[in-house]
Amino acid sequence: MSKMNYFGTDGIRGQVGGDLINTDFIFKLGYAFGVVLNNTNCNPHNKVKVVIGKDTRISSDMLENSIVEGLISANVDVFLAGVIPTSAIAYISYISNFSAGIVISASHNHYLDNGIKFFSGNGSKLSLHMEAAIEKEISNPVILYSKKGIVTKISNIEEKYIDFCKSTFPNNISLKGIKLVIDSANGSAYKIAPYIFNALGANVFAIGSNPNGKNINDKIGSIFPDTLKQVVISKKADLGIAFDGDADRVLMIDSNGRIFNGDELLYSIVIDRLSYNIVNGVVGTLMTNYGFEKQMHKLHIKFYRTNVGDRNVIETMKLYNCLYGGENSGHLICLDRHSTGDGIISSLQILAAIIRHNQSISSFIKDLYMYPQYIVNVPWNYQYSWEKNNKILIKKQEIEKKLSNRGRVLIRNSGTEPKLRLMVEAADKNLALSCIQELKSIFD
C-alpha cells in the first residue's frame, strides 16, 4: 500500500492551525469519513452513526465542531460523549453498535498539538485499507447529501465505561488500605481515573486533575514521571500511576521512587497470567527492551516484534493469537480485557497481579533484567529518507560493529512527529551511553 499523506501510526496529528489540524481540513476529514462509512454500510436500512469523544485541549471544541459539521453533511448521525478517555470510545463503539468512533486528542503531546483518532464499530483501530479510502475521498470535491445527519449529546457513557473498567478487576480482590497517587496529566481521565481507583477501595490522592485547556501533559503525566515521583515520595504512597493526555498510556512508580516503564509493566501482567493460564505469545515492538525478549525466551514464551504503534501491536497479536502485548512507552494491550490499549484497565491488571501474589512490583519482576537503553529524538524532515543518508548509515554500521552481540541500535521515523527516534541499548550502561552520544552527534 502506498505511503499515507495524512495518517500516521495513530490517526492524524499535528500543530493546531497547521496544514492538517485546522477547521477546513477537519471538516473535509469528517465529510470523507462519513462518505466512506456510507459506502461501506452493509445494511442501508441502518443509519450510519458515529460517537465522538475528546480530551481537554483548548482546541478540542473547535475541532469537534468542524468534524461534526463534516459528518452530518454526509448524512451521518453524530453522538457527542464529551471529555472521555480514548479507550472509552473504543468500548462504547462496540457495545452500543455505533458504526465508528472518533477521538479528538493528540495523546501525550502538548496542548498546541491536536489530532483525530478513529475506531471501527468493533472497537479496533481502522484498517490501513479504510484509512487509504478516507485519504482518497479527501481529495474529492464535497457534494452535500440531500439530508443532513443529526447531533445528539449523550450523558451515560462515563458510567458505562467506569462499570466496564471495574469489571476487569477481580471481585475477590480489594484495593482497601492501598495509598495511590493518580496522575491524569490534566487530560481526559481527570475525573474518571481517580473515581475508579477510589471506588475499588484505594486511598487516592489525585494530581493532574485540574485541566484548563493548556496544561494537558504540561510537566505532568506519563511523559513527565518526575512530578509523580516527588508526590509519591512526599505523600508516602504505596504506588503512583500516571496516564497521558488521553489515558491510553500508563507508567507506575513505587514508594521508593522507582519508575516502571511499559516493558516492565507488561512483564508483570504476563507472569501473573502465566501463573494460572497458558500464554501463547507476547508482542512487543522494535523499541521493546532486549532484556524483555531474552526473559520471554527463558520462560518458553514466543516473542514477536513489530513496528511501533499500538495498532501494529494489536494486528500482530491477532495474527499470532496472542492476548498480551505492548510498548515500552506504556501502551499495554490485554485482549482478554479490551479491544485496544487502556491505561486504566492495564494498571488494574497490574495491581491485581501484585496483590494476588502478595509482592511489590519490584520483587514481582525481579527476574527481568532490562538492558540499559537510551532514546534520543532529533528533528527530521519526512521528505528525506534517513536510510539513503550515507553519513547516518556509516555511523550506524560503526556503532553496530562496536556493540557486536552485546546490544543493538535502532533508527526510525516517529509516526506522530517530524522527528527521528534514535535508540541504543547494551548490556553495559557506559557502552550504551557512549554509543547514543556518538550517534546523536551527527545530527548536531
Angle among Cα 185, 187, 190 to the nearest 5 degrees reads 85
Cell readout for 240 is 503512583
Determine the length of the chain. Answer: 444
Taking the C-alpha atoms of residue 407 and residue 372, their distance in angstroms, rounded to an integer, is 9
Angle among Cα 377, 380, 385 to the nearest 5 degrees reads 120
Question: Across 328-390, where does the E strand assignment appear?
Answer: 332-334, 373-379
Taking the C-alpha atoms of residue 36 and residue 372, their distance in angstroms, rounded to an integer, is 46
Torsion angle of the four alpha carbons 109, 110, 112, 113, in this order, in degrees rounded to the nearest 10: 10
Taking the C-alpha atoms of residue 108 and residue 31, their distance in angstroms, rounded to an integer, is 27
Asked if 193 contacts 249 with a C-beta cutoff of 8 angstroms, the reply is: no
Binding site as annotated, residues: 107, 244, 246, 248
Residue tagged 505469545 (cell numbers): 281
Binding site as annotated, residues for Mg(2+): 107, 244, 246, 248
Taking the C-alpha atoms of residue 273 and residue 324, their distance in angstroms, rounded to an integer, is 10
The phi-psi region of residue 256 (left if phi > 0; otherwise alpha if psi is between -120 and 50; otherwise beta) is alpha
Taking the C-alpha atoms of residue 57 and residue 234, their distance in angstroms, rounded to an integer, is 29
Query: Taking Cα atoms as reference points, which of 190, 157, 151 lies closest to residue 64?
Result: 151
CA distances to 270, 289, 416 from 274, in Å: 6, 20, 34
Provide the 10 A C-beta neighbour count for residue 398: 14
Taking the C-alpha atoms of residue 253 and residue 125, their distance in angstroms, rounded to an integer, is 29
CA distances to 15, 52, 247 from 211, in Å: 19, 20, 14
Residue tagged 480489594 (cell numbers): 174
First to last CA, the chain: 34
139 is catalytic: no
Taking the C-alpha atoms of residue 198 and residue 195, their distance in angstroms, rounded to an integer, is 5
Residue tagged 490522592 (cell numbers): 205
Residue tagged 503525566 (cell numbers): 221
Cell readout for 181 is 497517587
Taking the C-alpha atoms of residue 82 and residue 100, their distance in angstroms, rounded to an integer, is 16
Residue from 107, 120, 346, 347 carrying the catalytic annotation: 107
Angle among Cα 247, 251, 254 to the nearest 5 degrees reads 135
What residues are labeled active site? 107
